[in-house]
């Protein structure tokens, strides 16, 4: 008798953008409190998730993306590491399944430095990507090293965000490059999307007349925030700016017909947005068998 499987196949998915290959690599998922969802009545948030057959309390996918450009290999974000939930931290197993050794990665691009994006950078003083240059927005690095901002945070924020961010990047202190915009990797241009954090950044990949925007944390809960872009999260550093940036990015993506990849979209994290009346509809990109 055939044995029932006890695990999914590796969460790896490839997409060609001209001469560049983008690979979705899942880091797993996080289940968390509904209390962090802001600017919407709690009962409405629960109702929307249940109507869309999503778990309550909320479940959030955590995605990372490999970029192969010429003979270069970059990773966008590093996932949860081992310091969060057991359902996260799957990046390295899925990299191995994709045939990628962390030592092959020459560049780590961060969208921002929240723990589910940067915890996988290091363990103590050990770089988990030993040959990589760390690349991030100048405002992001400055914010999490701002002692005055750290002092204004609560104890959880000081330890989980500020101190953890400092610890994660410390082993890369001689291998860190910051930017304010422009091309940051061959075929990849940084697009600052402030609000969620001061240096929150999207990355536009373009080659051969094709493009894909990795938009970071523009949304955390697609079923809620696509229909209600005013909904913010407790961990938005500037919620008003985050909501304004989301509306602007939604309009750009829908107007230009851009393909998008998101860190918290359902794996493999690829989508389009279409305008519908005064709002938007999310169109998940299905699995593509052809490269």
Ramachandran sector of residue 208 (left: φ over 0; alpha: ψ -120 to 50; beta: rest): left
The two three-digit tokens of residue 41, written as one number: 């009545």
- Rounded to two decimals, the pTM is 0.96
Answer whether 68's CB lies under 8 Å from 23's CB.
yes
φ, ψ of residue 145 in degrees (nearest 5)? -105, 15
Q: pLDDT tens for the chain, 291 residues: list them.
A: 789 998 888 899 999 999 999 999 999 999 999 999 999 999 999 999 999 999 999 999 999 999 999 999 999 999 999 989 999 999 999 999 999 999 999 999 999 999 999 999 999 999 999 999 999 999 999 999 999 999 999 998 999 999 999 999 999 999 999 999 999 999 999 999 999 999 999 999 999 999 999 999 999 999 999 999 999 999 999 999 999 999 999 999 999 999 999 999 999 999 999 999 999 999 999 887 877
What pLDDT score was predicted for residue 184? 98
| 37-38 vs 122-123, strand pairing mode | unpaired
Domains in the chain, start-ordered, CATH in brackets? 12-284 (3.60.15.10)
DSSP state string for 90-159: -HHHHHHHTT--GGG--EEE-S--SHHHHGGGEETTEESSTTPEEEEEHHHHHHHT-HHHHHHS-HHHII
Residues 6+ apart with CB under 8 A from 205: 17, 20, 22, 67, 187, 188, 211, 212, 213, 214
- Residue 198 CA to residue 165 CA, distance in Å, equals 14
Rounded (to 5) percent helix, strand, coil in the chain: 30, 30, 40
Ramachandran sector of residue 78 (left: φ over 0; alpha: ψ -120 to 50; beta: rest): alpha
Q: Which of 48, 20, 46 is nearest to 35 (CA)?
A: 46
CA within 13 Å, CB half, 256: 13
What pLDDT score was predicted for residue 277? 92
Strand partners, 63: 26
What pLDDT score was predicted for residue 2? 85
- Residue 264 CA to residue 268 CA, distance in Å, equals 10
What pLDDT score was predicted for residue 288? 79
Which parts of 9-71 fold into alpha helices (H)? Answer: 42-51
């Amino acid at each position: 008798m055939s044995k029932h499987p006890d695990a999914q196949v590796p969460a790896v998915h490839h997409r060609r953008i001209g001469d560049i290959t983008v690979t979705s690599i899942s880091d797993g998922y996080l289940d968390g409190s509904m209390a962090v969802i802001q600017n919407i009545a709690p009962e409405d948030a629960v109702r929307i998730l249940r109507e869309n057959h999503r778990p309550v309390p909320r479940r959030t996918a955590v995605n990372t993306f490999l970029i192969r450009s010429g003979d270069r290999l970059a990773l966008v974000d590093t996932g949860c590491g081992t310091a969060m939930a057991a359902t996260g931290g799957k990046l390295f197993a899925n990299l191995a399944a994709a045939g990628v050794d962390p030592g092959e990665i020459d560049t780590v691009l961060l969208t921002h430095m929240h723990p589910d994006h940067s915890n996988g950078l290091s363990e103590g003083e050990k770089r988990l990507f030993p040959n990589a240059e760390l690349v991030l927005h100048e405002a992001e690095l400055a914010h999490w090293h701002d002692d005055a901002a750290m002092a204004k945070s609560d104890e959880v924020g000081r330890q989980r965000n500020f101190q953890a961010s400092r610890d994660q990047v410390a082993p890369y202190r001689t291998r860190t490059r910051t930017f304010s915009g422009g091309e940051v990797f061959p075929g990849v241009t940084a697009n600052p999307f402030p609000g969620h954090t001061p240096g929150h950044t999207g990355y536009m990949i373009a080659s051969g007349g094709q493009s894909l925007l990795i938009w970071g944390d523009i949304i955390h809960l697609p079923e809620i925030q696509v229909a209600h872009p005013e909904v913010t999260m407790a961990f938005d550093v500037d919620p008003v700016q985050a909501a304004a940036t989301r509306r602007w990015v939604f309009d750009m993506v829908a107007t230009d017909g851009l393909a998008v990849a998101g860190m918290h979209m359902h794996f493999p994290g690829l989508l389009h947005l279409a305008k519908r009346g005064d709002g938007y509809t999310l169109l998940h990109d299905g699995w593509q068998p052809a490269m």
